[in-house]
Amino acid sequence: MSIRYKTLRDLHAEPVTVKTDVSGPYNALRGTDGKLYPASFEDGGVTAILTVPAGGYEFEPDTLPSNENDVKIGYTGAGDRFDITVGGSVFASYVYDEKLAKPYLGPIMTPFGESYTRLDFETKEHPHHRSVFFGVGDVTVAGAGEHVDFWNEPENCGIQHHGGIENVVETAAYASFDAKTTWCAHDGAPMADAVATYKFYAQPEGCRYIDVSITYTASYGDVIFGKTKEAGPLGVRMADPLRAERGGYIANSYGGRGEAECWGRAANWCVYGGRLSGHDVGVAVFDDPKNERYPTTWHIRDYGLFAANNLYFRGGLTIPAGTSLTYAYRIVFFASTADDAHIADRFIAYCK
């Protein structure tokens, strides 16, 4: 029942999926050295969190008596939030407060108890930038009226109405859930249905991934995303001390540095980091190679906005009625320098 895997690069708590016919009550892989790695056995494959040097390996399915990095998704009872805990501590929260125009994921906690991202409900500067969110600033249903803004939040903005949390999964290797929303004009007219998927891995607190995707379905007619700078669809707002204008840094996969070399440029990934309370931290976003017009262009700013945006730099698009469009990304939260976090190697692992 051995499972073979070969990697050309060193892996650092990396989620790896391998085809296998093995099934049963297993939640780990055991290496030839006896080390156990948390794993999830699914139909036709296994996903495991591996830390190994480059080379070839054989693993046996096994059972993990306990996992200090267990991931759990728990309803808080507050009516509008799910908490994601890793190793018993809250790492992130999904918030769908109906008093707000759109849901968000945040805060995202560092190992030392501060957030990588900004959540400031008093700020007058881009108050709609809440931690990690989805938005598009120019949305129209063909023949159905005016353009609607789902990015900014003027009085007549679009509303992403919460439709429920579904498909909650918890395994030794990861936990995930789907969050349904209906994107409606301010008067309540539905414009598109959306399902966002969030996946969290059983990784050490020094570097953790969140895989996010959003699938738009044109349920009410052709959906037109206009050529707009105010879009991601993925947006990340960095914690204020990490702003490039305050000493933080911006870089991309082609060696670009700073807003001047990264804003509006296509790249496989971008990274934004700096010092937070004396600690090196950063966030990287990987564009999924299956996304339309990959690699994405980036709306990344010195003042702390970090967004993947094809719409402004490459023009709008239409989702024909009855069809769907999916965007997917990996967000890497690391408590180190970008070099020490091996961002380029992690992107290769993501693609493979």
| pLDDT tens digit sequence for 307-323 | 999 999 999 999 999 99
Q: In the prediction, which pLDDT does 121 show?
A: 92
| pLDDT tens digit sequence for 240-264 | 999 999 999 999 999 999 999 999 9
Taking the CA atoms of residue 80, residue 168, residue 64 and residue 19 in that order, the dihedral angle to the nearest 10 degrees is -140
**pLDDT confidence band for 77 (50 / 70 / 90):** confident
The pair of structure tokens assigned to 73 is 């998704």
Residue 244 is classified by DSSP as G
Spatial separation of the C-alpha atoms in residues 120 and 228, rounded to whole Å = 25
Q: In the prediction, which pLDDT does 190 show?
A: 97
| pLDDT tens digit sequence for 81-90 | 999 999 999 9
pLDDT at 195 over 80: yes
Spatial separation of the C-alpha atoms in residues 288 and 253, rounded to whole Å = 14
Look at 67 and 123; give whichever has higher pLDDT.
123
Starting at the earlier edge strand, list the strands of the sheet with 139-141: 139-141, 223-225, 317-319
Q: In the prediction, which pLDDT does 133 show?
A: 98
| pLDDT tens digit sequence for 109-131 | 999 999 999 999 999 999 999 99
Residue 288 is classified by DSSP as P
Q: In the prediction, which pLDDT does 66 show?
A: 86
Look at the chain and count its residues. 352
Contact indicator for 117, 239 with CB cutoff of 8 Å: yes
